[in-house]
Structure 1
Amino acid sequence: MHLAGRLAILCPWVPLVGSTPPTDWVTPLLGRLADAGTTVVVYFSTMWVYGVQPVGRLTEESPTGSTNPYASAHLGNESTLTQLADRHGLDISILRISNLIGGDPFFRHRSKIAFAHELTAMAVHDHRIVLRSPPDTARNLLPRALLHHDLTAVLDRPVEVGRISTFNVGGPVTTTMGDFANLIAAVVEQRNGHPVRVEHPPASGDQRTFDLDTDRIRSLAGVGPDDLTTELSMILTDVTDEHGRTGRPS
């Protein structure tokens, strides 16, 4: 949580697969934040509240529900936030973000390493990327600079007590894991000079795809930076710096 003046940004812990869901921590936290003078709360949720394998065009009004503990925990938190906005006089924004792609120098200290860093580390250390999912698996990728652009627009709005705003926040197009792995390989090859092989299970041939509708956030924030190559270059720097500290051979 980042707290500055009357603003609180919640980037919550949610349970890992197989773990016990946490007790309700949102209700007491919102009460304490309101007592401290907070008026604006931004909650980072996930697009996976639309399902483990979402299909079709996903708007903020699309049906939600998931058997995945990660998404289910986010849905529970969203519901609590919605119920308590009026009671505590809060202006709450819920951001359902897609897969965030961007630099993170502390990636090795995370309980779960972001998959872009994981794939880049494979390319650097092993000269190959091994995908666990079929190459035609659909993914929406959110460049970190675009998230910053959109978040600024959300925070710049005048405060409206009791308002609940939900935004899909993602990149402009849906890609595939195969295409993303090939892009990572190209970025690593260009900087390090060695070829990177991409390996994967057979294509499924019937992968369902989706389109994350971001019209609502685009109408508020306008067009923002969308440059995955730049983000991957920063990720490569993270991995290379960590590689140098550990002294692991290439």
Structure 2
Amino acid sequence: MHVLLVGGSGFLGGRITRAFLAQPGIRVRILTPTEPRASWKEPPGVEIFHADVRDPESVRGSCDGITHVIYLAGLNQVACEARPVEAVAVSGLGALHLAEEAARAAVQRFVYISSFHVYGSVEAELLTEELAVQPRNHYGLSRRVGEMYCSLVAERRGLSVVILRLSNGYGAPADEQADCWSLVVNDLCRQAIRDGRLVLKSSGRQQRDFLAMRDILAGMQLFLKVPAASLGQRVFNLGSGVSVSVLEVAERIRATFADLFGKELPLQVGIDPTEGRPVYFDIKRARALGFEPRGDMAEEFRELFSACG
């Protein structure tokens, strides 16, 4: 298997690269901008292809000799709100350019990494893939555009496309400078180490589906290998299937911190008059193909503590 990671110099790309390189029989090529972030170090044993995904000519040849593509490129939520045109260009048009290139190179599978944010303002407690999506921020909208372009190429060119809508991911980065510290769990773990306390901006009663890094990696590998004839669908939710309050996550972080360091973390809870409703992430489709989340929160917390130390 020869995998192209588009946006492989980012948070998720760094962990995928490390996981894939540890397995025999998997070669990795990373597509990254000509000028990636200064702290990024080129991993040993990988091929590097410098390109701007917004430019179709720039990505020409990036998929030559590649069997599988994972498209990770995109701005984070804050950057999407500040630069919405760029957000759509990277997550949307960039996906179109790479999917077209993958189809030209006869790639076996193209996996597009999307987000639960595409569901937006859907009025449902159970988020299933059949729901009509209603993105309510630029991040969700940019990912939805990417989904649509990938589906278009799949239908026109016969490319085998899988779209994975991730819930709230968390886990230690391969590089501490990776753009991952705005994620709720990651932020709380960094607060624990750097500030010696936890501060929630809200009441923490809002419930979310949290997906451990180990489960994200397992899901990626599963959907690279599932035969096209067995997929049945193109879009899959990838989550834990369990709804947990942010306050409960904070308490679990406090417990893990106390076990590890023998200290109690003060917890400051805010007030949020619009707490919202509990939302459950339906992962039946992914489970039917063999995905089973097994992430250990405490273990992920310990790795995050170490990454912040």
With structure 1 as the length reference, what TM-score do the two structures score? 0.86
8 A contact 1:6–1:39 mirrored in 2 = yes
Residue 81 to residue 227, structure 1, CA distance change in 2 (3 Å): same
| 1:6 to 2:70 alignment | no
Residues 223 and 214 of structure 1: CA distance in aligned 2, closer, same or farther (over 3 Å): same
Indicate whether 1:109 and 2:178 are aligned.
yes
Conserved? CA contact 1:90–1:163, under 8 Å: no
| Deviation sequence 1:181-227 (CA, Å, 0-9, x none) | 11111111221222101112135485311111111111111434131
Please state whether the residue corresponding to 1:136 is helix, strand or coil: coil
Deviates most, 225-234 or 14-23: 14-23
**Number of the residue aligned with 2:283:** 214
Q: CA RMSD in A?
A: 2.4
Of 202-211 and 71-80, the range deviating more from structure 2: 202-211
Matched, 1:121 2:182: no
Q: More displaced, 89-98 or 9-18?
A: 9-18
Aligned to 2:81: 17
Structure 1 residue runs of 4+, over 6 Å off? none
After superposition, the Cα gap between the structure-2 partners of 1:132 and 1:81, relative to the gap in structure 1 and judged at 3 Å, is same
- Give 1:237 shift: 1.3
The letter of the residue matching 2:191 is M
The question of whether the paired residues in 2 share the 8 Å contact of 1:117 and 1:239 is answered with: no
For the Cα contact (< 8 Å) 1:93–1:167, is it kept in 2?
A: yes
The structure-2 alpha-carbon separation of the partners of 1:7 and 1:219, relative to structure 1 and needing over 3 Å to count, comes to: same
Point out where structure 2 has 5 or more consecutive residues left out of the alignment: 6-27, 30-65
2:146 is equivalent to residue 85 of structure 1: no
The superposition leaves residues 50-100 of structure 1 with CA deviations (integer Å, 9 ceiling, x where unpaired) of: 115864111001121122000000011111111110323211000000111
Does residue 132 (structure 1) correspond to residue 201 (structure 2)? The answer is yes
Aligned residue runs from structure 1 range 63-212, under 5 A: 63-110=132-179, 113-160=182-229, 165-202=234-271, 204=273, 207-212=276-281
Q: Which piece of structure 1 moves more, 178-187 or 115-124?
A: 115-124
For the residue of structure 1 that corresponds to 2:280, the secondary structure is strand
Q: Which has the higher contact order (CA 8 A, sep 6+)?
A: 1
1:45 aligns with 2:109: no
Q: How many residues align?
A: 240
User: Does the CA-based 8 Å contact 2:96-2:146 persist in structure 1?
Assistant: no
2:300 is matched by which residue type in structure 1?
Answer: E
Match of 2:71, as an amino acid? Answer: L
Does the 8 Å contact 1:94/1:164 carry over to 2?
A: no
The change in CA–CA distance for 1:112 and 1:182 in structure 2 (over 3 A counts) is: closer
Whole-Å Cα distance in 2 between the matches of residues 166 and 200 of structure 1? 37
Q: Is the 8 A contact 2:203 2:275 kept in 1?
A: no
Alpha-carbon offset, residue 37 of structure 1: 3.0
SS of the equivalent of 1:108 reads: coil
Aligned residues with identical type, % of pairs: 22
Distance of aligned partners of 1:19 and 1:131 in 2 relative to their CA distance in 1, 3 Å threshold? same
Structure 1 distance, partners of 2:195, 2:212, is 25
> Greater CA deviation, 162-171 or 4-13?
162-171
Distance 1:171 1:217 in 2: 11
Asked if the contact 1:120–1:184 (Cα under 8 Å) also holds between the matched residues in 2, the reply is yes
Please tell me whether the aligned partners of residues 194 and 308 of structure 2 are also in contact (alpha carbons under 8 angstroms): no
